[in-house]
Amino acid sequence: MSSQDIANPAPLGLASFGFTTILLNFVNVGLVDSSLETSFVLTMGLFFGGLCQLIAGYWAFKSGEVFPATAFTAYGAFWETFAFYLLIGPVMGLIGNPSGESMAAYMILWGIFTFYMWINSFYHNWNLVGVFGTLWVLFFLLGAHFAIGSDLLLKIAGAGGILCGFLAVWTSFCVVFLEHSEIKLPGMKTPLK
């Protein structure tokens, strides 16, 4: 199979990231029940946020697209690690709860990665600049929340996360629309290429 036989993975990767991010941040702002027994954050993180992005990342690697391959694979792994932690930690009780400092470090490291992806998003399109820009801020706000334990910071981060997720979903829609539309923007094959 050649890379020309692979559909653009961006809509799948962006939608799976976006909708999973929205759901988690609905919990963070208090719009959705936060108990893991009744929340779909765990299963959505494992399968839609995690697995679908890993698949999209693989397709992007096969297509020779370094930026989306790196982004989808990395954030797919983020969702897998986060959901797996929820599964073996709070749900199954196999591991204890991490300290606030270790959760802060986890989020800040993702913030640093996202910051350099945000810089590279400037070579693609403004939708992605918005997605990555709101995402690195989200990770640093979550890091600050875990470091100092502020519920206000968690709610602010949650609101930013909902915005980030909606921007990703919007970008997914735009990619599908532009690839199936008669409307072509000058010099633009797809938003991610």
Each residue's pLDDT tens digit, 19-54: 999 999 999 999 988 776 557 888 999 999 999 999
181-190: long-range contacts at Cβ-Cβ below 8 A with a sequence spacing of 24 or more? 188/125, 190/8, 190/10
Higher pLDDT, 57 or 7: 57
Per-residue pLDDT band for 6 (boundaries 50, 70, 90) equals confident
- CA end-to-end distance (rounded Å), the chain: 20
**What DSSP character marks residue 180?**
H
**What are the extents of the domains in the chain?**
3-180
* pLDDT single digits (tens) 153-163: 999 999 999 99
The torsion defined by the Cα of 24, 30, 35 and 41, in degrees rounded to 10, comes to: -10
Give the model's pLDDT for residue 3: 58
Among residues 59, 4, 56, 48, which one has the least CA distance to residue 22? 48
